[in-house]
Structure formats: C-alpha cells, structure tokens
C-alpha cells in the first residue's frame, strides 16, 4: 500500500456578515434598486463651488443611521435650528455673537471612498437638522454622492429601519 500526498481541504464555516445586504451594494450598478434587504440611497450632485442642503425634522434620542458612498472629496456639516426655516450657507455665522444655527454634528472634509460608509447617530434634541454638503474647493467639476438617513425603530439590534426623507424646501 502506497501512501500518497493528499490535497488539504479548505476549511469553510458559513457565517453571514451582519451587513451582507449592504455590502452587496458595493458592486451594484443601480443604487436606487429596491431589492429586499438593500439599502436604497439617493443620488445628490453637489455643483462646483456650491452647496446642497437637505433638512430633516428629528426628535431627541431618536437613533438614526447614515449610509453614504462617494468617490470624490466634499465637506459635510449638520446644523440644528429649533424652528423650521430655509437654511442658507452662512446662517451659522450670521447675527451678533451667536449664529442662527448651532453645529449639531462636527463638520468635516470627507475624503473620497469607493466603499459604503455607515455610522449611527443619536439625535441630541428635537428640532430641524440641516445637512450641508459642500464642494467649495472645486472650480469646474461637480461631485456626485449617494446617501440615505434611516431611523432605527426598536434599537440597532433587530430593530426596523425606516427611511427618513428630507423635508421639501419651504414654499413647495
């Protein structure tokens, strides 16, 4: 009896990733598809040298989750107002002493990432939140990004994800 070399068998343990449905979107061509388990995100085009503002009404302690994907750099800020108003860039600086808005989520430059970014955020107080996307460094090229804000009803473990839509501009 001869002893031969036996090829090792690969060890595979089926363990689905907790965000498997979201991870599948990385290669999806159509981000707006409504497939079961997918994260439907909206496309936003930020013009060169310009800004896009989306406003939301959120309540204190509301657990939200952001999904975002972009391959180009842009800036993002979130400002708070107690009453509904049409936010315009610079409102946070207007007025004597304090501005019209308060910064609710630290403003930052978001470097281009070819993957889906995801984070949880607990809303600090009830009111109107203005998400400001800026492309102020660009002279010629706009930036396209895709994102969606969700409310997690029932907590982040086993809760229901409810899509939160931006408010229409005042007067529309």
Handedness of CA 145, 131, 107, 142 (dihedral sign): positive
- Other Cβ atoms within 10 Å of 102 Cβ, number: 15
Q: What is the DSSP string of the chain?
A: ----PPPPPP-------TTHHHHHGGG-S-TT---TT----EEEEEPTT-EEEEEEEE-TT-EEEEEEEESS-EEEEEEEESS-----TTTTT-SSSS-SSEEEEEEEEE--EEEEEEEEEE--SSEEEEEEEE-TT-SS--EEEEEEEEEEET-TTT-EEEEEPPPPPTT-
- Other Cβ atoms within 10 Å of 68 Cβ, number: 19
100-125 pLDDT per residue, tens:
778 888 788 888 888 888 889 999 99
- What is residue 9's predicted lDDT score, i.e. its pLDDT? 65
CATH no. for 42-164: 2.60.120.680
- What is residue 97's predicted lDDT score, i.e. its pLDDT? 46
Mean pLDDT of 90-107: 68
- Other Cβ atoms within 10 Å of 74 Cβ, number: 23
Q: Domain limits of the chain? A: 42-164
- What is residue 160's predicted lDDT score, i.e. its pLDDT? 86
151-163 pLDDT per residue, tens:
988 876 667 888 9
């Amino acid at each position: 009896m001869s002893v031969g070399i036996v090829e090792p068998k690969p060890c595979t343990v089926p363990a689905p990733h907790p965000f498997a449905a979201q991870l599948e979107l990385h290669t999806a061509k159509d981000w707006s598809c409504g497939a079961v388990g997918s994260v439907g995100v909206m496309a936003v085009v930020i013009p060169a040298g310009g800004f896009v503002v989306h406003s939301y009404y959120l309540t204190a302690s509301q657990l939200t989750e952001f999904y975002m994907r972009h391959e180009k750099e842009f800036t993002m800020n979130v400002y708070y107002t107690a009453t509904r108003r049409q936010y315009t860039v610079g409102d946070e600086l207007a007025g004597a002493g304090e501005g019209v808005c308060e910064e609710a989520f630290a403003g930052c430059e978001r470097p281009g990432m070819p993957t889906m970014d995801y984070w949880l955020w607990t809303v600090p107080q009830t009111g109107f939140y203005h998400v400001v996307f800026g492309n102020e460094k660009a002279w010629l090229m706009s930036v396209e990004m895709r994102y969606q804000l969700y409310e997690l009803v029932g907590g982040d473990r086993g809760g229901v994800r409810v899509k939160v839509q931006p408010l229409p501009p005042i007067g529309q």
